[in-house]
Structure 1
């Protein structure tokens, strides 16, 4: 079987068929204007976007095709500019698609030179960049959100460092406290990262805080409650508060003796629209508790910071039978997790 001749040796009709096949196969929109701004060629992709046949579209201007007046006027000016400058023009524009709504297109108009060097037509190629634009917008949102989270995290660490140094007896004590608090903050971020920072399930937050202090059989904590999804800010705040409660329980409370236990329970209370989420930390089986002579970082974080971050209330009580902490927040501050 004889091989096909090279393209530069092919007959004009064969070349035309080849070019036509390429232009019709491409998903890009390809077209040609004459010097009077009329379409003298449009490929299938463009005709499909218009919802027209070539017989309906041939020799019409953008305005006659149905482009918005501002859109048609913009292309008229660009076509004249290509003719005058003999240089390509590029731009981006939204366009209402018949079946897919408004799409964003990147286009280029290029001069087609005649035998005498004059611009005899204007060739155009347009590409749908809607998905790329949406991806760029999404990436910008992610960058903005990341910047926001980094600033918040740095502010939290700064406050934590200042309060830790202020309430520590020496550098060794400050180092130990700071390290444990940073680990607690990291654990909260790990939970949120697993959920793409959409929120954290309250049970996961409670179990992560308790995990370092559980016994070999996990008998030190009784953790239960229905599924709740906390937004990132409240998940971090509650995680840090539970860490401080655990630390205090290990040093002075129920977790300082083998028989001590801690209950972490939560539930909805009240009726909409006044429904609230109530969480209770209760220690028992530990040494007798007395009111501290001064409030440390943990107490201030629970009584002031947690109340602010949750948009609710927080009460820390040093009862003789064991420390109790009651936390509540309005229902709109937390979301019921899907069953």
Structure 2
């Protein structure tokens, strides 16, 4: 009997974007403590690395992270298929194909955003991945690259992804500029085109489409969800990690009313992260591998600057243990709640 394929997560969806060097397993564990419903993504993992490299290190994760998606990078159908087969043993909830990253190292491997120049090839990749996957296969793309006119190329690109069986499409609403702009500059130039993404959703009402790019908070996310099925935050969710504490209530109401930060048991979070860090240190890991993802927790709280200082300096010292986390939490006025202090206004912005 043919195994039934899993269906994609029901809308609305809040996702934390895959971010190279940031969304590792320690980051995802922290994020999951703040939201049980957010969809979390790995860093992009190149298919070759899974096939020929340390797959246990690249793919292993905590059961607590679910729902969690694996993002793959590659442009060879056979290698991507092999990577999907290997990843199946690790129990990811989704496999995502990166067709949006503009970095030089991604371009040198002829994948990421440059794949948008060849929609037919990307469709073949999706077809190959779908053939061997028992979980949803999705695509994260841009609205176009370089001199492409997004309004002309995006409809055809999406039609080909849908025809290939993509279970969901996440669209970064800014064109990727691969020549003449650095990835950092490409974060602001050219401008975002949310209306085009909304139009694509209207033209494909039965296909899950999510939006990414420039979304700063849950109130903005709520406005997008009146047009699309999902919202994906990247740097905003990482640098202001505390906003994730409002995600579950936000999704329950799917509106601005859910965007207020709920009561959080910060001391329970402290204890959980201390226990997690202690286990990592006992296995030979470094405390900084955990705490570097925590510095954005208390943006707007009195004492947040000191919290960041402790985690950034003391946690990086040789032999540092989980007591550093306790000291950092003790510096914050948790009971006072988030209120931007004048001296911290710049850092919180």
Normalising to structure 1: TM-score of the pair?
0.19
Structure (1 or 2) with the greater strand fraction: 1
Report which structure shows greater RCO (CA 8 Å, sep ≥6). Answer: 2
Q: Rg: which structure is higher? A: 1
